[in-house]
């Protein structure tokens, strides 16, 4: 990989200092700098290195980068049994993990020569980052961050090394106008238990009750338990259905996303104006109460139309504006340079309208969008839905690896995990209890991500995960090619038509792998009569094995 000029400068600075902090704008490839830092140190003779990242999503993202660069690395999660973690700590040259896991395993870790600290602005006070750095002493340290508040600089330099910054003007034209950042806002064990119970009831429900349970899940995951408590305080069908859970709900945190909201405001300190989008009025009012203690904060609520003029006037003067959907369209909210999505929307229109708040000139040259997302819930599903739709219209400046890992911590991905046998949508629905629309979305997404494929059988489209692809041969009669096929390929600006039997198509099409999809016109000859059929395979055909299965299936029908 060829490093960009500013990446090379940052790497040389880090290697020269040995202990250093590099501050680069979000989206400029800090992870690459960290990886090359370790690559050079291993050439110098170090034996073991530790990479600290704040979330599971970033553990996966960082691991993918390191593996792509050929670095001997492994991940460690707290959910791994302690004996498994011990073996990884002692076996691998580079271990990537969260600071909490590392801190809990300090007695298992020996002989660390270098530490790379991603998002090192967290390394202060009683944070697990700081505790690890105070405990492990090594010759080489590299801190990486997009922004370090002035009040944290001294402590971070004491723990890691001298700070050097590269500004947006230093990295142009390598950064877009805005960059998205995903913050995981995890449920604790009690919250997840309540969520799972409501989800279980939803899967068993029918008709309108299923929709009511879905609303409850969205209130809870997107907004917080406060929204669910507010709904249960009213005489509705929802409060009746969840009456037996009232005590459990009342005992939960009101706003499980609030700490990460504060973290976002700290990381992107220096913003000209921040807008926080929420769905529920009760959440907006509570955030106003909490944030007003430290920031000049205002609120825009659509229900209070008679007060709208005064609200907008206050919004123009405020540092933080909390807005319900009233601020997405039809209301001229001030332009911001930091947008925080507290409540993620499944609507691509609302998604785009929200982002319009940062598209005009104001504040910093580079704008930021933060998505507060509750993993393993409908919150993730809705964010993925809106991104997938909106990216057809606008650039989505979130790193692809982050989106891939976000998909893996979604509830819809759990549908995919269960497809270990070939089956049609109807069977998947019976097995999971999910709606057909949820299943169709999950299958479409999984096909795009290269996790699932399908063939046509007497059951209709029959799906299977790629790691269980050999089980498709149970449908031998649908993998017995006997017809001629015609395929039209677009190669650059030119097109090529290939016609032939299975053997010819297999040989010719293999030259053009990978194919993002494959569409085949099947020609069936009977005496002098030709019949035509059409088969479309909307998933990536990226190996000879998958190509053969697709061609055999199409030409057997």
Q: What residue spans define the domains of the chain?
A: 5-175, 176-409, 425-556
What CA–CA distance (Å, rounded) separates 137 from 166?
Answer: 27
What CA–CA distance (Å, rounded) separates 479 from 552?
Answer: 5
DSSP 8-state assignment for residue 358: G
Class of the CATH domain delimited by 176-409 = alpha beta
| CA-based torsion, 441, 442, 447, 448: positive or negative | positive
Angle at 551 between CA 421 and CA 454, to 5 degrees: 25
Q: How many CB atoms lie within 10 A of CB 243?
A: 10
The residues, ordered by sequence, that sit 6+ positions from 306 with a Cβ below 8 Å of its Cβ are none
Give pLDDT tens digits along the chain (557 positions).
789 999 999 999 999 999 999 998 766 889 999 999 999 999 999 999 999 998 776 788 789 889 999 999 999 987 778 888 888 888 889 999 999 999 999 998 889 999 999 989 889 888 899 999 999 999 999 999 877 877 889 999 999 999 999 887 788 777 667 888 899 999 999 999 999 999 999 988 988 999 999 999 999 999 999 999 999 999 999 999 999 999 999 999 999 999 999 989 988 888 888 999 999 999 999 999 999 999 999 998 865 556 767 887 888 889 999 988 766 554 556 678 899 999 998 888 788 778 777 766 666 677 889 999 999 999 998 998 888 888 877 778 887 777 888 888 888 899 999 999 999 999 999 999 888 888 999 999 999 888 999 999 999 999 999 999 999 999 999 999 999 999 999 887 888 999 999 999 999 999 999 998 999 999 998 777 889 999 999 999 999 999 999 999 999 98
Classify domain 5-175 at the CATH topology level. Rossmann fold (3.40.50)
What CA–CA distance (Å, rounded) separates 180 from 49?
Answer: 29
């Amino acid at each position: 990989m060829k490093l960009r000029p500013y990446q090379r400068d940052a790497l040389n600075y880090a290697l020269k200092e040995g202990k250093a902090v590099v501050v680069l704008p979000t989206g400029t490839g800090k992870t690459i700098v960290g990886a090359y830092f370790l690559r050079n140190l291993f050439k110098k003779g170090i034996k073991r290195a530790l990479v600290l990242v704040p979330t599971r999503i970033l553990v996966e993202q960082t691991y993918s980068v390191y593996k792509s660069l050929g670095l001997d690395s492994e991940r460690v999660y707290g959910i791994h049994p302690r004996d498994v973690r011990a073996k990884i700590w002692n076996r691998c040259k580079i271990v990537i993990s969260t600071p909490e896991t590392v801190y809990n395993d300090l007695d298992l870790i020996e002989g660390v020569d270098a530490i790379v600290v991603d998002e090192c602005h967290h390394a202060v006070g009683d944070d697990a980052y700081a505790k690890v750095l105070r405990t492990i002493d090594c010759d080489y340290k590299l801190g990486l961050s997009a922004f370090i508040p002035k009040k944290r600089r001294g402590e971070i330099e004491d723990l890691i090394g001298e700070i050097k910054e590269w500004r947006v003007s230093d990295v142009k034209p390598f950064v877009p106008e805005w960059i998205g950042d995903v913050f995981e806002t995890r449920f604790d064990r009690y919250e997840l238990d309540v969520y799972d119970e409501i989800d279980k009831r939803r899967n068993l429900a029918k008709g309108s009750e299923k929709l009511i349970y879905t609303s409850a899940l969205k209130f809870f995951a997107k907004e917080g338990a406060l929204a669910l408590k507010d709904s249960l305080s009213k005489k509705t069908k929802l409060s009746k259905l969840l009456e037996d859970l009232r005590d459990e709900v009342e005992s939960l945190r009101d706003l499980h996303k609030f700490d990460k909201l504060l973290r976002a405001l700290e990381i992107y300190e220096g913003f000209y104006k921040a807008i926080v989008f929420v769905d529920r009025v009760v959440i907006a009012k509570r955030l106003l109460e909490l944030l007003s203690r430290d920031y000049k904060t205002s609120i825009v609520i659509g229900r209070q139309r008679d007060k709208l003029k005064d609200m907008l006037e206050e919004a123009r003067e405020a540092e933080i504006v909390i807005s319900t959907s009233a601020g997405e369209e039809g209301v001229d909210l001030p332009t911001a340079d930091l947008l925080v999505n507290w409540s993620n929307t499944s609507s691509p229109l609302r998604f785009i309208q929200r982002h319009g708040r940062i598209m005009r000139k104001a504040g910093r040259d580079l704008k930021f969008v933060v998505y507060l997302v509750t993993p393993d819930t409908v919150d993730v599903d809705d964010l993925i839905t809106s991104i997938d739709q909106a990216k057809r219209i606008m650039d989505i400046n979130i790193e692809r690896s982050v989106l891939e890992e976000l998909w893996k911590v979604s509830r819809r991905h759990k549908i995919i995990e269960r497809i270990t046998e070939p089956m049609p949508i109807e069977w998947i629905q019976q097995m999971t209890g999910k709606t057909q629309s949820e299943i169709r979305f999950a299958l479409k997404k999984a096909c795009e991500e290269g996790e699932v494929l399908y063939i046509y059988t007497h059951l209709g489209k029959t799906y299977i995960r790629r790691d269980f692809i050999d089980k498709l041969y149970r449908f031998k009669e649908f993998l017995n090619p006997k017809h001629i096929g015609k395929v039209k390929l677009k190669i650059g600006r030119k097109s090529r038509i290939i016609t032939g039997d299975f053997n010819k198509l297999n040989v010719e099409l293999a030259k053009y792998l990978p194919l993002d999809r494959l569409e085949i016109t099947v020609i069936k000859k009977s005496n002098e009569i030709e019949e035509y059929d059409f088969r479309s395979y909307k998933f990536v055909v990226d190996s000879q094995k998958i190509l053969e299965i697709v061609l055999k299936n199409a030409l057997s029908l």
